[in-house]
Amino acid sequence: MTTTTTTTRARPAALTLTPSAEARIAHLMASAPEGAIGVKLSTPRRGCSGLAYSVDYVSEEAKFDEKIETPGGVFYVDGGSVLYLIGSTMDWVEDDFTAGFVFNNPNAKGSCGCGESFTV
């Protein structure tokens, strides 16, 4: 009888977080409401192009969510959103007038004029 061994390798995360995005997650987790275990990215259907990016606190792990460990806390990607986000980069950008997460998503085929939503 031969024994076989299965080896697993780490798979790359669905998206890459810049150091600035990781720092923002650390800041959010430092002031998170009680019971929050991390921050979660999802792509709910809304806006004029169909899908939008939504970042919220999460209080429990969902079975199919992707979990990304960052130096400042756990970042989750909604399991139903992963396919829309593979290969994306998430950044945190601040200037004199605005501050927010910015996404470079190679899967987005278009976006609305205001930049609030995208299509795949």
What string of H, E and C letters represents the secondary structure of the chain?
A: CCCCCCCCCCCCCCEEECHHHHHHHHHHHHCCCCCCCEEEEECCECCCCCECCEEEEECCCCCCCEEEEECCEEEEECCCCHHHHCCEEEEEEECCCCEEEEEECCCCCEECCCCCCEEC
Q: Structural domain tally of the chain?
A: 1
pLDDT(37) > 80: yes
Decide if 71 is inside a domain: yes
What CATH number has the domain bearing residue 92?
2.60.300.12
Residue 93 located in a structural domain: yes
Q: What is the pLDDT of residue 29?
A: 95
Whether 85 maps to a domain, the answer reads yes
Contact of 64 with 79, CB cutoff 8 Å: yes
Residue 3 lies in a domain: no
Name the residue range of residue 56's domain. 16-104
Q: What is the pTM of this model?
A: 0.80
Dig out the tokens for 101 from the structure: 């997460």
Is 10 domain-assigned?
no
| Domain presence at residue 91 | yes
Residue 77 within a domain: yes
Classify residue 66: in a domain, yes or no.
yes
* pLDDT tens digits along 65-105: 999 999 889 999 999 989 888 899 999 999 888 898 988 88
